[in-house]
Amino acid sequence: MTAAALSARGLSKRYGKTAALDAVDLEVGAGELVGLLGPNGAGKSTLVKIACGLVRPTAGEAQVAGAAAGSRVARASTGYLAELFRFPSWAKADEVLALHQRLARSDGGPAEREALLARVGLSGEGGRRMETMSKGMQQRLGIAQALIGSPRLVLLDEPTSALDPGGRRTVRDLLVELREQGVGVLLNSHLLSEIELVCDRVVIIDGGRVVTEGRPQDLTAPGGVEVETSDGVRRLPDARREDVPRIVRELVDGGAEVYGVRVVTGSLEDAYLAAVVGRD
């Protein structure tokens, strides 16, 4: 059986009296895209940093592809883009990737670097220095850097924060490609629409604890049915999709003219707010 890309059990992290994480269980399967949501200070970045070995947990354990998180073996299987991503301003894009190739023991050479740059929309930009690149371009390079050496787990902390809509689309397509290649991805983002579009599963944490998790479609609650008739738009908040034929029939039988029917579903934002704000 293939080990999960990331598996965390009872993961806790305390900074003095503050609990950044409190007994968090989380799993990212091979080829699974998991979105990590939560308000500022919820513990998302701490969780990601423990997974890639930058922060040591106070209790619990995390494994990357079956190896203890932070170990050399685990780090060899991990790609990471930090929320605060920076590369030396004096370095060229190609030099940054070449250094990471060497440290990641990737033998992909120039071909891998060119392919990665093309994958993030930076074809032909390998000779550019960081100081001449926009923040969005640097973020794209950060994503390319995270993919060096074909990692089994990719941890992306706010990967689209500096990207324009085109860049976000590129990243979404890339995430889908990674899923097809069997790479597990933990995507930490505040952009709920992005997560709703691409993630297989969503985990919402608040106050260091997992407050809810599930598939996006399971988390988004039904929001009733809207019917447009000759008398205007009527909203039936408790109605479900299965009720639509009956509702239309009753309205027509009652002499109303029906122009349109829409099944309303809640958004991930609604689910998020219900899970997070509802706890306050």
Number of Cβ atoms within 10 Å of the Cβ of 67 = 16
DSSP string covering 28-80, please? E-TT-EEEEE--TTSSHHHHHHHHTTSS--SEEEEEETTEETTSHHHHHTEEE
Q: What residue ranges in 137-241 does DSSP mark as E strands?
A: 153-157, 184-188, 201-206, 209-214, 222-229, 232-236
**Single residue of 9, 56, 240, 246 touching another protein by CB under 8 A:** 56
Is residue 162 within the footprint of another protein (CB under 8 A)?
no
Name the minimum Å distance from CB 113 to another protein: 15
Contacts of 25 (CB under 8 A, 6+ apart): 8, 9, 10, 11, 210
Instruction: Give just the sign of the alpha carbon dihedral 157, 203, 182, 60.
Output: positive
Q: Measured from the CB atom, is 42 or 146 closer to another protein? A: 146
> Is 145 an interacting residue with respect to another protein (CB under 8 A)?
yes
Among 35, 43, 53, 126, binds another protein (CB under 8 A): 53
Which of 6, 7, 22, 80: binder of another protein (CB under 8 A)? 80
* CB 60 to another protein: min, Å: 15
Site residues for another protein, window 112-141 (CB under 8 A)? Answer: none
- Based on the shown chain and the rule CB under 8 A, indicate whether residue 100 belongs to the binding site for another protein: yes
Q: Both tokens of residue 108? A: 């992909």
User: How far is residue 215's CA from residue 230's CA, in Å, rounded to a whole number?
Assistant: 38
Cβ atoms of 265 and 223 within 8 Å: the answer is: yes
Task: Tell me if 107 contacts another protein by CB under 8 A.
Answer: no
- Applying CB under 8 A, which part among 25-33, 99-107, 166-174, 255-263 lies near another protein? 99-107
Residues facing residue 234 across a β-bridge = 227
Exactly one of 85, 163, 204, 208 binds another protein (CB under 8 A); that residue is 85
Q: Which residue in the set 88, 109, 237, 278 belongs to the binding site for another protein (CB under 8 A)?
A: 88
The size of the interface with another protein (CB under 8 A), counted in residues, is: 29
State the nearest-atom distance from the C-beta of 115 to another protein, in Å. Answer: 19
Examine residue 159 and tell whether it contacts another protein (CB under 8 A). Answer: no
Tokens of 214: 């599930």
Q: Is 256 in the site for another protein (CB under 8 A)?
A: no
Q: Report residue 76 CA to chain centroid gap.
A: 21
* Nearer Cβ to another protein (131/269): 131
